[in-house]
């Protein structure tokens, strides 16, 4: 008799837990799906649209050149959304994993909502930047502004230059030091967890083949199969706020 989806998940959880128990070093690549159960919308579920605008038009250097006030309205709306939400049990489970592996655990996140840190994760690499930070186009200062609304033309308190969101937009390079650290963590890990990401955005998605090349086990946690599934040794298909706590439970 074929296994039910629940039985399949139990088998996959046991395999994933066994691999993790044998791993000295663990890396996680997380994406928008981890925060979905907190109430933060994912990118590709909403057809890549925000109030009728394509995400690429409000999250790109071209969009910024065309209409910076629209871009700030987009980010103020995102900041306001994040101000109302809390980390979920998926975030908490990753905090539990970091407690087990200590400095041999690296959480590489594409998320800009800051919920991993709010949950208590320490070794977090925010490769796409942060909704809470601004960057001054005059003096370059990067400042944590929390989640208060900033208006549609905020100015730098130090030099009165124009501020932009401290976010990596399409077509922009990632911060070199952060990206190098992410690649090193993927290269050196024994297990890579790929959680809540469609794995279509590069270079983030390249962490999967980087980890595999050195023989790491790849564990996918997602609602559905993704671009990364063919490279995964095991897939835990279900909401990460449910499956990650189950996985961490099986580690002890």
Active centre residues (catalytic) = 128
Least separation in angstroms between CB 127 and Zn ion: 24
Least separation in angstroms between CB 115 and ligand BJW: 13
Cis peptide before 160 (omega within 30 of 0): no
Nearest residue (CB) to ligand BJW, 25 versus 223: 223
Do the beta carbons of residue 190 and residue 217 sit within 8 Å? yes
Question: CB under 5 to 8 A by kind: which of ligand BJW, Zn ion, none does 156 bind?
Answer: Zn ion
Burial class (CB in 10 A: 0-12, 13-18, 19+), 237: middle
Nearest residue (CB) to ligand BJW, 168 versus 185: 168
Q: How many whole angstroms separate alpha carbon 251 and alpha carbon 230? A: 25
Do the beta carbons of residue 212 and residue 186 sit within 8 Å? no
Look at residues 139, 196, 203, 131 and name the one whose alpha carbon lies nearest to residue 172: 203
Q: Helices then strands (H, E): number in the chain?
A: 10, 11
22, 61, 140, 171: which one binds ligand BJW (CB under 6 A): 171
Least separation in angstroms between CB 133 and ligand BJW: 12
Q: How far is CA 99 from its chain centroid? A: 19
* Only segment of 1-9, 17-25, 139-147, 190-198 that touches ligand BJW (CB under 6 A): 190-198
The residues in 42-71 that bind ligand BJW, with binding defined as CB under 6 A, are 42-45, 59
Least separation in angstroms between CB 160 and ligand BJW: 25
Look at residues 125, 42, 119, 38 and name the one whose alpha carbon lies nearest to residue 82: 38
Residue 69's H or E segment, with its range, is helix 68-83
| Site of interaction with Zn ion (CB under 5 A) | 136, 138-139, 141, 156, 158-159, 161
Burial class (CB in 10 A: 0-12, 13-18, 19+), 187: middle
Question: CB under 5 to 8 A by kind: which of Zn ion, ligand BJW, none does 128 bind?
Answer: ligand BJW
Nearest residue (CB) to Zn ion, 80 versus 159: 159
83, 200, 214, 249: which one binds ligand BJW (CB under 6 A): 200
Positions touching ligand BJW (CB under 6 A) are 31-33, 36-37, 42-45, 59, 110, 112, 128, 167-168, 170-173, 196-198, 200-203, 222-224, 226, 239-240
């Amino acid at each position: 008799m074929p296994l039910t989806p629940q039985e399949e998940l139990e088998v996959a959880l046991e395999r994933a837990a066994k691999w993790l128990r044998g791993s000295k070093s663990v890396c996680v690549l997380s994406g928008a799906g981890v925060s979905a159960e907190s109430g933060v919308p994912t990118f590709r579920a909403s057809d890549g649209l925000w109030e009728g605008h394509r995400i690429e038009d409000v999250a790109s250097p071209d969009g910024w050149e065309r209409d910076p006030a629209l871009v700030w309205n987009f980010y103020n709306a995102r900041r306001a959304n994040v101000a109302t939400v809390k980390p979920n049990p998926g975030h908490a489970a990753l905090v539990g994993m970091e407690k087990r592996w200590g400095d041999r655990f690296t959480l590489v996140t594409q998320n800009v909502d800051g919920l991993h840190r709010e949950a208590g994760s320490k070794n977090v690499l925010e490769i796409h930047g942060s909704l809470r930070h601004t960057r001054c186009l005059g003096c370059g200062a990067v400042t944590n502004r929390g989640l208060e609304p900033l208006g549609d033309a905020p100015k730098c308190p130090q030099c009165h230059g124009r501020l932009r969101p401290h976010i990596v937009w399409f077509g922009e390079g990632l911060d070199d030091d952060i990206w190098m650290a992410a690649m090193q963590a993927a290269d050196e890990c024994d297990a890579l967890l790929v959680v809540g990401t469609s794995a279509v955005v590069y270079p983030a998605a390249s962490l999967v083949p980087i980890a595999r090349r050195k023989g790491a086990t790849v564990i996918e946690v997602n609602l559905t199969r993704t671009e990364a599934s063919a490279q995964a040794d095991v897939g835990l298909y279900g909401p990460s706020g449910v499956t990650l706590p189950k996985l961490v439970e099986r580690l002890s």
